[in-house]
Amino acid sequence: MIDSHCHLDHEPLFSDLKNVIQRSKEVGVKKLLTISTSKESFFRVKKIVNQDAIIFGTIGIHPHEADKNDVNSEFFIKNLKENKKIIGIGETGLDFYYDNSHRDKQIESFKIHIKAALNANIPLIIHSRNAEEKTFEILNEYRDEKLKILMHCFTGSQQFAEKLLELNSYFSASGIITFKNSVDLQNTFKFLPLDKILIETDSPFLAPVPNRGKKNEPSFIDFTATKLAEIKGIEKSELIKITSNNFNNLFFD
């Protein structure tokens, strides 16, 4: 299994990293992608990726942090050149859930991240919440440039998913698909092609059933894999093989 999105620099994972990694290996996790959310977060990620061979990282600014973290092309070029285990740009994107979310700054930051991903030819990890129309509008501007898109913790509508498939996007399922009230999302993942799906924990957030309400960690990916296999009507072993191949095709091809 591959956890395509976790935050190992967040507590309580960061202070217990050795045990967190060991528990993930015990359930069969082969790779962990720990995601940067701010400049401060990235400085921690840079150190974390060197602690174990299975850990890789990204460089980026979460939309909630866009107004506090100015970035430019030099920030990405310098750090990507110096850190070979940094394999993605993000997480970036748009989050219009809150009124005070500095939309113009988010959009500006998002476009800087997109250009960095294109220049580096590595995947862009996208967070989109209450911003389907604008997210697609921006991504569609780059439809002819072969942007590598990963929609992280996808919770969007099937209509949004259909439009994103036109851009050759990948979609990552989180523990939310195990929640009882996530029927629409489960149906969307049932619709999505097998060759376009990944799995993630988004730990320490969004722990799956039966651990909902607890602090999430990468080892809990096993529950998400079990549920997604059920949704797709295939054996769990097959689901794990497919999602792992998808991750490797996206990030290492």
Residue 179: its pLDDT value, please? Answer: 97
Non-local CB neighbours of 202 within 8 Å, separated by 6+ positions: 5, 6, 7, 152, 153, 174, 175, 216
Q: Give the confidence band of 241 by pLDDT, cuts at 50, 70, 90.
A: very high
**205 and 216 Cβ atoms separated by less than 8 Å:** yes
CATH number belonging to domain 2-223: 3.20.20.140
- For residue 63, what is the DSSP state? G
Nearest partner of 149 among 106, 198, 107, judged by Cα: 198
Starting from the edge strand earliest in sequence, which strands make up the sheet with 149-151, in order?
2-6, 31-34, 55-59, 86-95, 124-129, 149-151, 170-173, 197-199
pLDDT digits (tens, 9 = 90+) for 216-236: 999 999 999 999 999 999 999
pLDDT digits (tens, 9 = 90+) for 22-55: 999 999 999 999 999 999 999 999 999 999 999 9
Residue 132: its pLDDT value, please? Answer: 95
Task: Compute φ and ψ for 32, nearest 5 degrees.
Answer: -130, 130
**How big is the CA angle at 178 (ends 173 and 180), to the nearest 5 degrees?**
130
Inform me whether the pLDDT recorded for 99 exceeds 70: no
**12 and 218 Cβ atoms separated by less than 8 Å:** no
